[in-house]
Structure formats: C-alpha cells, structure tokens
Structure 1
Amino acid sequence: MTMSVMTHPDARIDPSTTAGERDMLEGWLDFHRETLALKCAGLSEEQLRETAVPPSDLSLLGLVRHMTDVERGWFHRVLADEDAPALYCSGEDPDGDFHFTDKDTWADADTAWREAVGRARELAAGRSLDDLGAGEHRSGKQYSLRWIYVHMIEEYARHNGHADLLRERVDGTTGD
C-alpha cells in the first residue's frame, strides 16, 4: 500500500490559543468533530465499513455511529434531560453502533451524527459552564457542562486516533 498525505478539503478551524475558557472548549470540541468527518471524507460505503483487525468490529462507520450515541447521551440526555434513547446500542447489543447491516448506510449515519451535534450545540448554548445537567447519568452522578465538554474532547480525541489508523489501513492516507 502506498502512503499518501490527506488531500481532502480541511474544513477544520484551528482552536484559538488565547480564547476564554468557553470558546476554547467549544473550539477544541468542534475541531475534533471535524477531524472525524475529515477521516471519513472521500471514502466509499465499503471502505467506511472496513474493520481494523479481527476480532475488532472497529470501523469508521461504527465510530460515527458511536459518536452519535455519545453526543445524544451526554448533551441530550444528561445535560438537557431529553428523551433521546441510543440509536444504535441496546441492552441486547451494547456495541450495536459497530454492528450494522446492509440496510445501514453512511448517509443515514452521517445525517444522524450531524443532527446530534447540531442539537448538542443548541442545548449547550447560553448555559454556564457550571450548569449541572438536568438529566441523570447511569452512574447517578451529576455533571457540569464544563465536565461534559472536557469529556467529549477526550472522547473524540481518543476515537480520532482510532480513525487515523483505520483510514491509513483503508487507503494509506495519513494526516492530522
């Protein structure tokens, strides 16, 4: 496999190095969201479904589906107490985000993810970073919006590392 440098249009905006706390957190979260989108850009449906290495079910399509449920969990349910059940995971299949059928498409997953992100932005807007979530987390603990932002940055950063490796395995593309 020949290595290539990522040539897709990079829509990411580098987070400010001098912004206040809120803008810094939102900037880094958006940067990582767009990094995941960039890792998936330009690939076929088949390539997006390609798994890492057996026995792992990890794929780029699965990562986007996973992050959809994560966005919905933390912002929709924990922060805003919305009735937003997981779209892909269930008690019967807790890793359902990585288990898909031929009926599950990239277009549907991408749309659901972007809708979850858009709603997350709406729910966080105008709240103080110190605001505690109105919903309940399975741990029984309360979480501030600040904590949710930091956790989401960590979650995306970790999974973007997976996405880097998956993308390189799929087509040899490397890049930030």
Structure 2
Amino acid sequence: MDDIAVRKIVRPERVVSGPWLEVIASNLDYHRATFLRKCEGLSEAQLRQRPVQSSALTLLGLMRHLQGVERAWFQRTLAAASPQFFPYPTYVTVAGDEWYDESDLTLARDVYEDYLKACEESRQMFARVTDDPARLVQNPEFGDTDVRFVLEHLIEEYARHADLIREAIDGAVGE
C-alpha cells in the first residue's frame, strides 16, 4: 500500500536508572515511539477510522493532538514561547474544549511529518527548559505546577489512548 504514513518504528531502550531527567527523557521518547508503533503500517483510511462508536477519536486525530501537546507544553508552558502550530481545523465541543476536526483532509503523511517535527522541536529544547525541575510554571489547566509535573503529564498524554483504538481497528495488541 502506498498510503502508509508510518513505516517501521524502532522503539528506543529506556533508561531505567540514573539522573531523573535522563530517565524521564528516555521514557518520553519510549512512549512517543510506542504511540507511533500503534500507527505503524496502517493505511490513510485506517488512521481515520473511528473504531469506538461512542468516540470521535481516531489515531490520526490523536497524532494531531499529540503534536499540539508537544508544542503547547514544551514551547508555550516550559519555554514561555509562542509555538507555530500547523493550522489544522478545529471545533469547540459542548463542554467548551477545542478539538481537532476529524473531517480535516490533511494527508496522514503530512500530519505524521508535522508530528515528528514537533517531537524534534521538544527534544532540542529539553535540556534548556528542564534545567531546574522544581521551577514553577503557570498552568491554566492545573494551576501552578513544576517542570516535573509537566514532564509526567506529557507521558500521561501518550499512555492514555492508542492501545484500544489500534486493537479495535485490526486486532493488533501489545506494546
């Protein structure tokens, strides 16, 4: 199939002991790769599939969300910068939250490239924005938090959704 956006993903080994920032950085990269493994080998149509009828969430929508997560938390929250978000169409939910419009026709390959770019931007600024893990940052969602909380929350964002969606698409399970 020519419309496969995410090809073979090699997941990095995790650092399981040592300086906290090295452990957390390696775990974040591990979860980034785990998410991409859930997208690996799927067609454009499969990435757009809504396998859970009660949810509008797709793997492609999750990929759009995660590029925003990377940029919002690393660039806006930790670096106090103005990120350059890709102009994906969004809508406001009944609860007032903004979410990516699943009818967006941006090709999966382009969303994937944007996602990889967002992750690389985060990796490049990691040491600079985490030099003081106890530093407090303003956070409209949780109140003032420290850098450690933000990094743990990023891992939580990766660990929450993809397994169920992939299993419902084609039965693939596991890490």
With normalisation by structure 2, the TM-score equals 0.81
Instruction: Kindly report which structure 2 residues correspond to 1:11-90, keeping only aligned pairs within 5 A, or say none.
Output: 11-84=10-83, 87=86, 88=88, 90=90
Identity of aligned residues (%): 34
Q: Which is further off, 104-113 or 12-21?
A: 12-21
Alpha-carbon spacing, 1:91–1:48, altered in 2? closer, same or farther (3 Å): closer
**Cα distance in 1 for residues equivalent to 2:174 and 2:101:** 24
Which whole-Å deviations, capped at 9, do the CAs of 1:129-153 have from their partners, x for residues lacking one? 23344xx533483333222111111
What count of residue pairs does the alignment treat as equivalent? 163
Tell me if the contact between 2:9 and 2:40 (Cα under 8 Å) persists in the aligned partners.
no
Tell me if the contact between 1:57 and 1:98 (Cα under 8 Å) persists in the aligned partners.
no
- Secondary structure at the aligned position of 2:35 is classed as helix
Which whole-Å deviations, capped at 9, do the CAs of 1:49-97 have from their partners, x for residues lacking one? 0012223111110111111111111111111122126544756464532
1:138 matched to 2:140? The reply is yes
Tell me if the contact between 1:79 and 1:132 (Cα under 8 Å) persists in the aligned partners.
no
Structure 1 segments (4+ residues) deviating >6 Å = none
Structure 1 partner of 2:102: 99
- List runs of 5+ in structure 2 lacking aligned partners: 1-6
Alignment-mate amino acid for residue 14 of structure 1: E
Tell me if the contact between 1:65 and 1:98 (Cα under 8 Å) persists in the aligned partners.
no
Q: Which is further off, 116-125 or 62-71?
A: 116-125
**Cα distance in 2 for residues equivalent to 1:139 and 1:158:** 18
Pick aligned residue for 2:119 from 100, 117, 132 = 117
- Secondary structure at the aligned position of 2:155 is classed as helix
Tell me if the contact between 2:91 and 2:101 (Cα under 8 Å) persists in the aligned partners.
no
- List runs of 5+ in structure 1 lacking aligned partners: 1-7
